[in-house]
Amino acid sequence: MFFSAAVAALALLHSTADPQVPPPAPQSPAQQVDPTTLADVVVRGAAAEPEQLRSFVTEIGGGPPRRLMARWNRPICIGTVNARPEYAQPFIDHMARVAIDAGAAVDGPGCRANMLVIFTSNGKVTAEALAAGSPLSFIPPGQAGPRLTRADLDAFINSDRPVRWWHLSQDVSESTGNPVQMVTIYTADGEEVEVPQVVVDRMSRLGSGMRTDLQQGVIIVDTSRLGDTSTASLADYAAMVMLSQIDPGTQAAGFPSILSLFSRPVGSASLTEWDMAYLRSLYRTPPGRPSRRFQEREIAAGMEREFTRDPARPVGR
C-alpha cells in the first residue's frame, strides 16, 4: 500500500514536472566515471575511543523514542523512481553491496520494492505529495508501541536537506516475528499504561523477547540541492540511511562518517570504517535487548571489537 500510493502520487506530480533526472549533479572531468558503474570505496582505519563510539551510536540513532534500534530482518528490495535506467541500476547495486557487507539480506531482480529511492528536483513538493496522497501509509493507525508522530512527518516534509527519509517499523515477537500486542495495565497510582505483551521461551534480564523490524522505507533525493556530490557518495549516504533508522537531524559533526556528507565542513564523502563497523555491529548484535540504552552500549562494544580485531584492515566492497 505504501509504495503503490507513493508511485500514484508521483505519477501525478511528475506529469507536469521535469523529465527523469540522474542521481548526481554534474561532475568535473576529473570526477566523471562510466555511468554504468559506481566505483567501490576503500576506507582506512581510524583510531576510536570507547566513549567516542558510544557518543556516535547515541547521536545518530533515530526512530520512535523508547523503541529499540530497528534493522531489516527480511530481504531488502530497492527500487528507484524518476531515475534513468543507466543510473538507477548501478545505484541500486552499490546500495545492495553495502547492505550485504553489513550483514543484511537483499532480494534479487524482479522483487517487490520495500525500499524506494525517489529522485526529484523539489524534495519538499514531492514529500508533500506523498504525505497528502497517503497519510496513513506514513503513520499507520492502530500500530502498537511507540511510533513516529505528525510532528515527525511535518519535519520530514519541511526539511531543507538534500536527502530525507522515512521508515515504517514494527515491534515483533523475537521468537515468532508476529506483531507485538499492547495491553493496558494500571499502576499503583491508578495511571493507565500500555505495555507490550510478549510470549518468551525463557525469562532473562538480557532479553525483552521482542525486536523492532524495519518493514518499508522511502528516501527522497532533492537533486537541486546536491551541489557537486558524486554518485558514489550519494549511494553510500543512501545505503547508510536505508539500513538503520538514522536521526534525520544528525550532522555527525566531529565523527568520521558519511552522515557528515552534507555538513559544513564535510567530514567524509564516502562510507568510513566507523560507518561499516556501526552497521555490522547493528546487524550482528542480538536484537531482543531489554532497552534502547542497553542495545546502544552493545553496538558500541561491537564497533570496538571490529577495530580491535584488525585495525589495519580496509573496509570496502
**pLDDT tens, position by position, 205-227:** 555 677 889 999 999 999 999 99
Residue 18: pLDDT band (50, 70, 90) is: very low
Q: Is the dihedral of CA 175, 137, 83, 155 positive or negative?
A: negative
Residue 37 confidence (pLDDT): 59
Output DSSP code: residue 63: S
Q: Which of 90-104, 138-152, 173-187, 233-247 has the least mean pLDDT?
A: 173-187
* Cell numbers representing residue 182 in the block: 499492547
Residue 66: pLDDT band (50, 70, 90) is: confident
State mean pLDDT over 59-88: 92
28, pLDDT greater than 50: no
For the chain, give the percent of residues with pLDDT over 90: 53
196, pLDDT greater than 70: no
Alpha helices in the chain (DSSP H): 2-13, 50-60, 85-102, 123-133, 135-138, 150-158, 231-243, 273-284, 292-309
| Average pLDDT of the chain to the nearest whole number | 81
Residue 94 confidence (pLDDT): 97
Residue 267: pLDDT band (50, 70, 90) is: confident
Higher local confidence (pLDDT), 110 or 28: 110
pTM beyond 0.85 = no
46, pLDDT greater than 70: no
For the chain, give the percent of residues with pLDDT over 70: 72
38, pLDDT greater than 90: no
Sequence-ordered list of residues with C-beta below 8 angstroms from that of 55, at least 6 positions apart, any chain? none
Residue 220 confidence (pLDDT): 98
pLDDT digits (tens, 9 = 90+) for 128-186: 999 999 888 898 886 656 678 899 999 999 999 999 999 998 887 676 766 666 656 67
237, pLDDT greater than 50: yes
Higher local confidence (pLDDT), 192 or 250: 250
The pairs formed by 145-153 with CB atoms below 8 angstroms and a separation of 24 or more are: 145/64, 145/67, 145/171, 145/180, 145/182, 145/196, 146/64, 146/65, 146/66, 146/67, 147/64, 148/63, 148/64
Asked if 60 contacts 247 with a C-beta cutoff of 8 angstroms, the reply is: yes
Residue 163 confidence (pLDDT): 98
Q: Are strands 115-120 and 210-222 parallel, antiparallel or unpaired?
A: parallel
Residue 53 confidence (pLDDT): 95
54, pLDDT greater than 50: yes
Sequence-ordered list of residues with C-beta below 8 angstroms from that of 21, at least 6 positions apart, any chain? 82, 83, 84, 119, 120, 121, 223
Q: Which of 63-67, 93-97, 146-150, 172-176 has the highest mean pLDDT?
A: 93-97
Residue 248: pLDDT band (50, 70, 90) is: very high
239: nearest Cα among 206, 275, 263, 265: 275
Q: Is 217 helix (H, G, I), strand (E, B) or coil?
A: strand
